Amino acid sequence: MSITDLNFDIDRNSQTPMWLQIRDELYNCLHQEILRPGQLIPNEKTLVELFNVSIGTVRKAIGALENEGILIRKQGLGTFVFEHDANSFQFKYFHFVPRNSEETVIPNVELVSFERKKATKSEIEILNLPADNRNVFHIYNKLGFRNKFYIVDKIIISVAKFLSLTEEMYVNRNNTIYNLYQNKFNIFITDCSEKIRTVPANGETAKILGIDIDTPLLRIDRTGYTYHNEIVEIRTSYVHTSDIDYVRPHFSALGE
């Protein structure tokens, strides 16, 4: 199935601007994996014919998706579907730097445990688990720099959505976790939100990080969303901020 085989019917008299209708059509093509991660999408001239509008309108639609971080335009090459990789992880989703430094550092990640569990009530609700499969994966990782670990990460995802996931597959991925979601399970994390507070380290976390029980940690609750704001990942990070800071880079624009 190629996008160029489809027939699109843009309503020229709708309340919704044509560029937004086109943006939504493209968004749905991405959602339905008619356009896949890393893929080159049709050039602007082709889209003009496909949607039967002028090039400025197509460009405005693509520009909107580019601003959302879903498409990437490369002059001289074409427009591509965004693909999660180590680079994007570092700049978009990994927010720690060594204290008194501005550079983000690439962390080492090590699996602690990989389990399949019965979901709690809260997990069922947040992940909107289907009645016929109320199991979740719990994946614990530790992350750090230079042979020292500072972060324990607990990832919760639905078994229904990641049915064929195994510990081996998880360990042997040679890319980021979000890239695994995207390439093996057609699940694309489009954006996240986070909440932060302090908590004392519990016994398990303390042991993993080599610190005392009750050492104050940052607790970061991250919610990962895919298309149409569907929640697909709950992640809780426990962070020992002895030598590192959580960073929120320059912000200003309203919705960020």
Partner DNA sequence: TAGTGGTCTAGACCACGTG
Partner DNA sequence: ACGTGGTCTAGACCACTAC
Site residues (vs DNA, CB under 7 A): 15, 17-20, 41, 43-45, 53-57, 59-60, 73-79
What single DSSP character describes residue 72?
A: E
**Rounded Cα distance, 27 and 61, in Å:** 10
**Is 69 among the residues that bind its own copies (CB under 8 A)?**
yes
Q: Among its own copies, DNA, none, what does residue 75 contact (CB within 5–8 Å per kind)?
A: DNA
Residue tagged 């356009």 (tokens): 35
Nearer to its own copies, 160 or 192 (CB): 192
With 0-12 CB in 10 A as exposed, 13-18 as middle and 19+ as buried, what is 73?
Answer: middle
Nearer to DNA, 10 or 112 (CB): 10
CB 237 to its own copies: min, Å: 12
**Rounded Cα distance, 76 and 80, in Å:** 12
**Is 247 among the residues that bind its own copies (CB under 8 A)?**
yes
The H or E element spanning position 31 is helix 18-31
Q: Among DNA, its own copies, none, what does residue 59 contact (CB within 5–8 Å per kind)?
A: DNA
Q: Among DNA, its own copies, none, what does residue 53 contact (CB within 5–8 Å per kind)?
A: DNA
* Phi (first) and psi of residue 161, to 5 degrees: -80, -25
Q: Which of 109, 143, 192, 211 binds its own copies (CB under 8 A)?
A: 192
Nearer to DNA, 49 or 214 (CB): 49
**Is 1 among the residues that bind its own copies (CB under 8 A)?**
no
CB 220 to its own copies: min, Å: 9
Note the maximum CA span of the chain.
66
Q: Are 28 and 14 in contact (CB under 8 A)?
A: no
Q: Are 60 and 44 in contact (CB under 8 A)?
A: no
The count of residues interacting with its own copies (CB under 8 A) is 37
At position 132, the amino acid (one-letter code) is D
CB 67 to DNA: min, Å: 12
